[in-house]
Amino acid sequence: MAQTKIWRMDAAGAEIYEKVRVPGEFEQLARMLLDRVAPERGHAVLDVACGTGIVARLAAERVGESGQVTGLDRDDAMLAVARANAPHGSAPLTWRAGDAQALPFAAGVFDVVLCQQGLQFFPDRLGALREMLRVLAAGGRFGACLWRSSEFDPFTIAAGEALARHVGQEAADQATYAFGDASELRALIEEAGFREAEVAPLTVSRRMGPPAESIPLFFASSGRLNSIYARLESGVRAALVADIAHAMRSYVSPKGMEVPRETLIATARR
Ligand SMILES: C[S@@+](CC[C@H](N)C(=O)[O-])C[C@H]1O[C@@H](n2cnc3c(N)ncnc32)[C@H](O)[C@@H]1O
């Protein structure tokens, strides 16, 4: 049974997310998602659960000045970073605070709706998918991605095992992914009313710095694990980082850690 994980970020975590996690993994994923969905010049695009805005920014380049892009997220800290990083010379970008399960837009106003690594956090995923369908124009394109189950991510396995050892099973459970099964995802998209639903696995490379630096930055910029990590005593934090670094040793080169991570990419149409 799929669970829901709560995402909460503070201002410092949102900055780290944009500076470290976006170039390390979310930007390459956003490019893959946009290649699949292929927004065109002049399109109106909605990025649901936009976070610090990487999908929206890249979409704005693709649709050009005649298009328009809206990013929506529930988290004020993530949106504040998105607002501060808007690019110049692309489609106009609008940022909206809001809940993916009750989109504050009229029906049929977007040509493309995207959602990168957001769906797993919505308590009512079917309701959110129905909302994304509602705001799409007839024939409009939908694209979403979410991490495949934790067993396909060596870093998540190592983090979960170290958290179980040093903090407890409840903390370890927060490290795993809530929803990452391809057939469940396709069934949900079809149940929401989309047509031509396709779901495919893809591998991205999680590029991190040296373990001693990058593991604490990972915790600080994880909306699921940041508050757990912040409460730990320094000795427990050090043991956690050392255990994960040890488990990840075969992925470390002089440039840092590089760990494969599998995602599901879903596309469909209204
Ligand atoms: C892993 S981040 C992904 C952010 C961005 N899409 C990216 O690729 O970098 C997950 C985002 O989902 C947002 N989120 C979680 N639940 C939400 C909800 N119910 N409505 C809108 N946004 C939500 C969080 O605030 C967070 O910014």
Tell me, what amino acid is at 192? A
Residues 6+ away with beta carbon under 8 Å from 255: none
pLDDT for the residue numbered 3: 58
pLDDT for the residue numbered 1: 40
Query: Which residue has the CA at smallest separation from atom 13 of ligand 1?
Result: 49
Per-domain residue ranges of the chain = 11-150+177-206+261-269
Task: Check if 179 has its Cβ closer than 6 Å to any atom of ligand 1.
Answer: no
Q: Using the atom order of ligand 1, give the atom closest to the CA of residue 78.
A: 27
Q: Please state the CATH superfamily assignment of the domain spanning residues 11-150+177-206+261-269 in this structure.
A: Vaccinia Virus protein VP39 (3.40.50.150)
Q: How far is the CA of 120 from the centre of ligand 1 (A)?
A: 9
pLDDT in tens, 51-100: 999 999 999 999 999 999 999 999 999 999 999 987 777 889 999 999 99
pLDDT for the residue numbered 89: 72
pLDDT for the residue numbered 16: 95
Task: Check if 147 has its Cβ closer than 6 Å to any atom of ligand 1.
Answer: no
pLDDT for the residue numbered 4: 64
With a cut of 50, list the residues of the chain below it in pLDDT: 1
Q: Using the atom order of ligand 1, give the atom closest to the CA of residue 17.
A: 9
Angle of the 234-247 helix axis to the 154-166 helix axis, nearest 10: 140
Answer whether 122's CB lies under 8 Å from 2's CB.
Answer: no
Mutate to test the pocket of ligand 1, among 58, 121, 147, 264 (most ligand atoms within 8 A of CB): 121
List Cα–Cα distances, 61 to 19, 115, 165, 213, 214, in angstroms.
Answer: 20, 17, 45, 32, 30
User: pTM of the full predicted structure?
Assistant: 0.94
Phi/psi at 17 (nearest 5 deg)? Answer: -55, -50
